[in-house]
């Protein structure tokens, strides 16, 4: 009924002494006693529940403790659980714990509880259990990054682990053809009744103005909806995006209303008219809801470089909506910049009622100036009350023109009022050298109640400098330095290839379990440790990937079971490779699609686009397909 790991002695070579020998009889008695009560112990680590050899329904409650080893009076440093080899499910600094875990039903023949002591030693106990029952319904993914905070982390992934994401057990399952480039992140709704049957559904949109609903488990296309003619890329400086420009921004889903909201662009070659529209589509049929679509229009008072009679008008031809749509408090927000700085343009945020598509908000980032596009793929976030965004190069005058700044905005009186802001000390240089702050969004981190800065955002722009900013006091502008914010780390992300290099970072960093991950241009993926007591990062990375990612880097995603089983997923765009890493140690690459290229080849990947990891599968949009990976 009990298993005494030989490694528990081998890993404690300093413990094989007279005191250890003298205690052997006592340890054996402890083992026999523990068996009588259904627990398993080696005299140092004891698993009280579940019992060895038992069957237990998920979620599984584990109770364990460790006592001070004879050879280390300093005591226990931490305890952890490996549900399968190489899969660290849980770790705590306590010497005892009781915690429940959702585990994928099946046999766990080597379920390990391990202790690490303060002298560098370790000991572990293994049990054999069978997990029964079924997993909970997977969580919907309704917006870019798994939530309005844009963390790009799924902590409810119970099937994919560092143990089973290996080329022998993981690979391409199937793919669906699409009619053009998929720039947005796929979205997911489980257990939806479509065409009379229940499906897990994955949604993607293309640059040819098409929206698809697919069965997420390989059951085929459920519906497709196409809009008007997409725009020839040369007309809007968009040929570095796709041959035609239609739907670039990731849509947003409202599961309560049953709608998916899609912003698209059209060009009428007969009239020469360009237009932007917002659609509210049924998740079930793809049909437009009553009142849909509506034209995206707007104007603000101002003296900007394209103002006419004191009004700055939304430009249908030059405005480009790459940022993912966001819904907050019943309003769907669409943000705009311009491809390759096609003048004239401004940064716009325009909001519409989710229920009837009436326009409720119009905001311009430079009403008295120029540019300041809101153009990064995820550069619109929310804490549930405020919107946060990052702008690109443009006029900055500390208001009302907000080039190269992080902005905290509050909806009020038909616009967005400035609640707070941060502008880097070298804003003039950033503007002059085309080093947009808003090339990637700062992720909004969870609350750290023990920190003097409990609410922070972390990001980096093209310059490659990491900014840690308090959302409670963003710091405004200091012309001498960025010393008024929580932390600034120069040259942290991306590698400049020459003195005029302008493209070091386009990523939005995921935050998971005390780690922040950046993937810059011509750089490895870097894992920085974050102290939740100070809200500050280590100034150098804890580790990095072996692979260097060329332009534009990647937008990584982390999947995990709570704070365990962490996997970082990244797409190497130029090479067209999906890679998976141990999220606690990026030097360990678990899998990549070249390991069995004949079976798993990804195809032509899309820049800036992250994968979707949910319900045991990885969904990647390419130029011609939605490719799906999982355990085989």
161 with 90, same domain: the answer is no
Range of the domain at 615: 141-183+512-632
Q: How far apart are CA 340 and CA 491, in angstroms?
A: 25
| Partners of residue 122 on adjacent β-strands | 116
Residue 519, token pair as written in the block: 């993937």
pLDDT score of 500: 76
- What is the average per-residue pLDDT within 298-325? 98
626 with 553, same domain: the answer is yes
Q: How far apart are CA 592 and CA 577, in angstroms?
A: 7
Contact 267, 207 (CB under 8 A): no
Q: DSSP class of residue 327?
A: E
Please enumerate, as own/partner, the contacts of 63-67 that have beta carbons within 8 Å and a separation of 24 or more: 63/97, 63/98, 64/96, 64/97, 64/113, 64/125, 65/95, 65/96, 65/97, 66/95, 66/96, 66/115, 66/123, 67/43, 67/95
Q: DSSP class of residue 222?
A: E
Taking only the tens place, the pLDDT of each residue in 146-173 is: 999 999 999 999 999 999 999 999 999 9
Taking only the tens place, the pLDDT of each residue in 614-631 is: 999 999 999 999 999 999
Taking only the tens place, the pLDDT of each residue in 473-524 is: 999 999 999 999 999 999 999 998 887 777 899 999 999 999 999 999 999 9
Taking only the tens place, the pLDDT of each residue in 28-37 is: 434 433 443 4
The residue behind tokens 């460790």 is: 66
- Residue 21 predicted with pLDDT over 60: no
Whether the ω angle into residue 98 lies within 30 degrees of 0, i.e. cis, is no
Residue 464: count other Cβ atoms within 10 Å of its Cβ: 24
Q: How far apart are CA 87 and CA 158, in angstroms?
A: 12
pLDDT score of 434: 92
pLDDT score of 25: 39
Q: Classify each residue of 41-55 as buried b or exposed e, where b means 16 or more C-beta atoms within 10 Å of its C-beta.
A: bbbbbbbbbbbbeee
Residue 555 in any domain: the answer is yes
pLDDT score of 502: 77
Domain of 32: which CATH number?
Answer: 2.60.40.10
Residue 54, token pair as written in the block: 């038992």
Of 277, 382, 393, 270, the closest CA to residue 337 belongs to 393
Residue 384, token pair as written in the block: 């549930």
Of 304, 360, 293, the closest CA to residue 328 belongs to 360
Terminal C-alpha separation, the chain: 33
Residue 558, token pair as written in the block: 């982390």
606 with 544, same domain: the answer is yes
Residue where one domain finishes, among candidates 132, 167, 194 = 132
- Residue 12 predicted with pLDDT over 80: no
71 with 155, same domain: the answer is no
- What is the average per-residue pLDDT within 410-420? 97
11 or 322, higher pLDDT: 322
Q: DSSP class of residue 499?
A: T
Residue 479 in any domain: the answer is no
Residue 316 in any domain: the answer is no
Contact 225, 210 (CB under 8 A): yes
* Angle formed at CA 580 by CA 375 and CA 324, multiple of 5 degrees: 20
Residue where one domain finishes, among candidates 132, 167, 193 = 132
pLDDT score of 497: 82
Longest Cα pair distance anywhere in the chain, in angstroms? 94
- Residue 188 predicted with pLDDT over 70: yes
- What is the average per-residue pLDDT within 603-612? 96
- What is the average per-residue pLDDT within 580-592? 98
pLDDT score of 38: 77
550 — pLDDT class (breaks 50, 70, 90): very high
108 with 153, same domain: the answer is no
The residue behind tokens 């029952």 is: 133
Residue 593 in any domain: the answer is yes
37-41, 200-204, 561-565, 604-608: which has the minimum mean pLDDT?
37-41
Residue 599 in any domain: the answer is yes
Residue 359, token pair as written in the block: 């326009």
User: Is the four-CA dihedral 238, 242, 243, 247 of positive or negative sign?
Assistant: negative
Residue 351 in any domain: the answer is no
Contact 589, 581 (CB under 8 A): yes
Q: How far apart are CA 37 and CA 49, in angstroms?
A: 10
- Residue 546 predicted with pLDDT over 80: yes
394 — pLDDT class (breaks 50, 70, 90): very high
Residue 241, token pair as written in the block: 């995006």
pLDDT score of 305: 98
Of 98, 334, 342, 130, the closest CA to residue 233 belongs to 342
pLDDT score of 11: 40
pLDDT score of 501: 74
Residue 106, token pair as written in the block: 């099946």
Taking only the tens place, the pLDDT of each residue in 212-228 is: 999 999 999 999 999 99
What is the DSSP pairing of strand 231-232 with strand 221-226? unpaired
Taking only the tens place, the pLDDT of each residue in 430-447 is: 999 999 999 999 999 999
- Residue 340 predicted with pLDDT over 60: yes
128 with 154, same domain: the answer is no
Residue 438 makes CB contacts below 8 A (sequence gap 6+) with 337, 347, 373, 374, 375, 376, 379, 389, 390, 391, 392, 404, 461
pLDDT score of 480: 98
Number of domains in the chain: 2
- What is the average per-residue pLDDT within 3-15? 38
61 with 151, same domain: the answer is no
pLDDT score of 490: 96
Taking only the tens place, the pLDDT of each residue in 128-145 is: 999 999 999 999 999 999
Of 385, 394, 231, 234, the closest CA to residue 321 belongs to 231
pLDDT score of 332: 98
Residue 89 in any domain: the answer is yes
What average pLDDT does the chain have?
A: 94
Of 249, 155, 262, the closest CA to residue 609 belongs to 249
Residue 626 in any domain: the answer is yes
- Residue 259 predicted with pLDDT over 60: yes
Taking only the tens place, the pLDDT of each residue in 192-213 is: 999 999 999 999 999 999 999 9
pLDDT score of 86: 92
Q: How far apart are CA 514 and CA 538, in angstroms?
A: 11
What is the DSSP pairing of strand 60-66 with strand 45-49? antiparallel
15 with 60, same domain: the answer is yes
């Amino acid at each position: 009924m009990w298993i005494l790991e030989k490694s528990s002695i081998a890993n404690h070579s300093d413990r094989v002494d007279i005191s250890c020998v003298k205690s052997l009889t006592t340890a054996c008695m402890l083992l026999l006693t523990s068996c009588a009560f259904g627990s398993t112990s080696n005299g140092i680590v004891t698993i009280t529940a579940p019992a060895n050899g038992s069957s237990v329904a998920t979620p599984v409650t584990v109770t364990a403790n460790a006592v001070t080893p004879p050879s280390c009076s300093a005591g226990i440093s931490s305890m952890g659980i490996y549900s399968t080899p190489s899969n660290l499910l849980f770790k705590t600094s306590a010497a005892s714990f009781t915690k429940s875990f959702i585990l994928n039903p099946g046999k766990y023949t080597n379920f390990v509880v391990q202790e690490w002591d303060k002298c560098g030693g370790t000991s572990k106990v293994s049990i054999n259990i069978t997990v029964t029952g079924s997993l909970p319904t997977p969580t919907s993914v309704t917006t870019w990054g798994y939530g309005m905070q844009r963390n790009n982390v799924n902590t409810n992934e119970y099937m994919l682990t560092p143990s089973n994401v290996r080329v022998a057990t993981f690979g391409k399952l199937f793919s669906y053809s699409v009619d053009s480039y998929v720039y947005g992140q796929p979205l997911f709704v489980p257990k939806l009744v479509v065409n009379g049957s229940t499906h897990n559904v994955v949604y993607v949109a293309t640059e040819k103005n098409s929206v698809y609903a697919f069965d997420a488990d390989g059951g085929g296309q459920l519906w497709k909806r196409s809009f008007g003619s997409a725009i020839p890329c040369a007309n809007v400086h968009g040929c570095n995006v796709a041959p035609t420009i239609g739907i670039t921004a990731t849509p947003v889903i409202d599961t309560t209303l049953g709608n998916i909201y899609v912003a698209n662009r059209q060009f009428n070659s007969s009239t020469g008219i360009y237009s932007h529209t917002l659609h509210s589509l049924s998740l079930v049929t793809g049909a437009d809801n009553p009142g849909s679509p509506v034209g995206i229009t707007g104007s603000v008072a101002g003296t900007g470089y394209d103002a006419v009679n004191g009004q700055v008008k939304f430009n249908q031809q030059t405005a480009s909506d790459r940022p993912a749509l966001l819904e907050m408090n019943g309003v769907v927000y669409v943000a705009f910049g311009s491809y390759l700085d096609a003048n004239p343009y401004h940064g716009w945020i325009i909001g519409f009622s989710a229920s009837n598509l009436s326009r409720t908000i119009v905001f311009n980032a430079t009403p008295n100036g120029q540019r300041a596009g809101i153009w990064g793929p995820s550069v619109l976030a929310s804490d549930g009350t405020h919107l946060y965004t990052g702008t690109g190069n443009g006029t900055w005058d500390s208001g009302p023109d907000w080039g190269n700044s992080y902005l905290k905005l509050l909806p009020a009186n038909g616009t967005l009022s400035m609640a707070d802001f941060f502008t880097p000390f070298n804003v003039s240089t950033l503007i002059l050298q085309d080093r947009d702050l808003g090339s990637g969004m700062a992720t909004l981190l969870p609350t750290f109640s023990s920190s003097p800065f409990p609410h922070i955002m972390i990001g980096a722009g093209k310059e490659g400098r990491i900014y840690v900013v308090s959302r409670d006091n963003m710091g405004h502008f200091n012309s001498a330095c960025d010393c008024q914010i929580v932390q600034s780390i120069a040259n942290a992300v991306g590698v400049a290839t020459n003195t005029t290099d302008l493209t070091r970072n386009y990523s939005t960093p995921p935050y998971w379990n005390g780690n922040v991950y950046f993937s810059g241009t011509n750089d490895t993926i870097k894992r920085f440790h974050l102290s939740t007591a100070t809200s500050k990062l280590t100034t150098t990375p804890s580790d990095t990937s072996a692979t260097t990612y060329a332009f534009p880097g990647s937008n990584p995603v982390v999947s995990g079971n709570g704070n365990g089983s962490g996997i970082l997923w990244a797409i190497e765009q130029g090479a067209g490779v999906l890679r998976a890493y141990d999220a606690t140690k990026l030097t360990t690459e678990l899998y990549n699609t070249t390991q069995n290229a004949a079976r798993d080849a990804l195809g032509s990947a899309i820049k800036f686009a992250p994968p979707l990891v949910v319900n045991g599968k990885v969904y990647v949009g390419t130029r011609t397909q939605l490719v799906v990976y999982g355990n085989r």
